[in-house]
Structure 1
Amino acid sequence: MNHILNPTIFEFFTVYIILFGVCVLWEKWVRRTLTYNRGVFLSLFTGYMLLTLLLTVQPMSPAEWSIVVPGSPLVNLRPFRIITLMLQSVQGHWLLMWSIFLPIPFIFFVGFLRRGKIGFSNLFVTGFTASLIIEVMLYVMNHIPHFPKHLFDLDVLILNGFGVFLGCVLFSWMESKQWMKEYISETMSTK
């Protein structure tokens, strides 16, 4: 492994299989609630969390480094500053897209875990709180030697909040349909 933040496909799937195995063993022998559908759900959830972790801990982008003043704290509290810089860069559009679309599956996983019995506002607060916790943890990890530096960025929270909102709207709309209610019930069933 060259670097923990840049794993090969083999290393990624090795870690994925280990994490998935732990989840399946937990469901099978501790909770005794493993079904085929829950196994598929766990597989997708484990893969999503691992990919999210790898994408989240990547080093700062050139746009973020361009606003950092040497010796100052790594904090951007000016809204739309980084967004504007990213829109001007070649790869910035992809970074913006990830910041918006990465929280959407999380909203669906939370909705499934709550078996669809969660209101729009609670779903939004859960998603936004998770985003805020991740940003704070990344900022705190700046004090770990040899760990990539991360900017506590208000713009990322804005983009993630927009993605959480989109995910909540989409989940709420889909959850109102009978087929989605049946699918959630079927997926999360313990029988």
Structure 2
Amino acid sequence: MIFRLDERIIFPDPQLAEPDGLLAVGGDLSYQRLLLAYENGIFPWYSEEEPILWYSPHERFVLYPHQLKISKSMRQVLRSQKFKVTVNKAFAQVIEACSAVPRAGQDGTWITDDMKQAYVALHQMGHAHSYEVWEADELVGGLYGVDAGRVFCGESMFSKVSNASKTALITFATSGLYQLIDCQVHTEHLESMGARFISREEYLNVLQV
């Protein structure tokens, strides 16, 4: 059963999601609703022409920072100091760059104008963060996501040059700020760095401790 949300800031039990993870439809992208969603392992994912769709997949693709794998070649890149990494210095630019990159399985961008505005608002309130990677004075890579306490819910990343997004992820993952990074969507790139699937139950246990 797919639940239809109204103006009340509530969500059904994530365990009631459909097999594909779809839990609810509707509602809005207010910061109160977004924070409640992430605190309960739920996130919005929809295209411009669709209503707001809320998901809680039965498996989560995640990275435990202590299991991060850094290749020998990537260690050389980091030692070279080719890139400069900053935090929360260009959030709007990062989300704009990420919106130009289609998510796997979708045509066009999933980061709609409403999504951009909502996450910029979350960032301004201190609940969403970005890591920016610079080569000289050019923004060449980065990632952004939502702080959910012990878990960082990674929303998207981008890279204009080789190894830029990896640099952002490694710098972030080794910061010691989070117990778990939610990568949301499986990629071979992230799997090679140590990300793996865990059950929804395991994910919620970490999230809600």
Q: Report the TM-score when normalising by structure 1.
A: 0.23
Q: Looking at secondary structure, tell me which structure has more strand per residue.
A: 2
Greater radius of gyration (CA): 1
TM-score of the aligned structures, taking structure 2 as reference length:
0.22
> Which gives a bigger RCO, structure 1 or 2 (Cα 8 Å, sep 6+)?
1
| Bigger helix share | 1
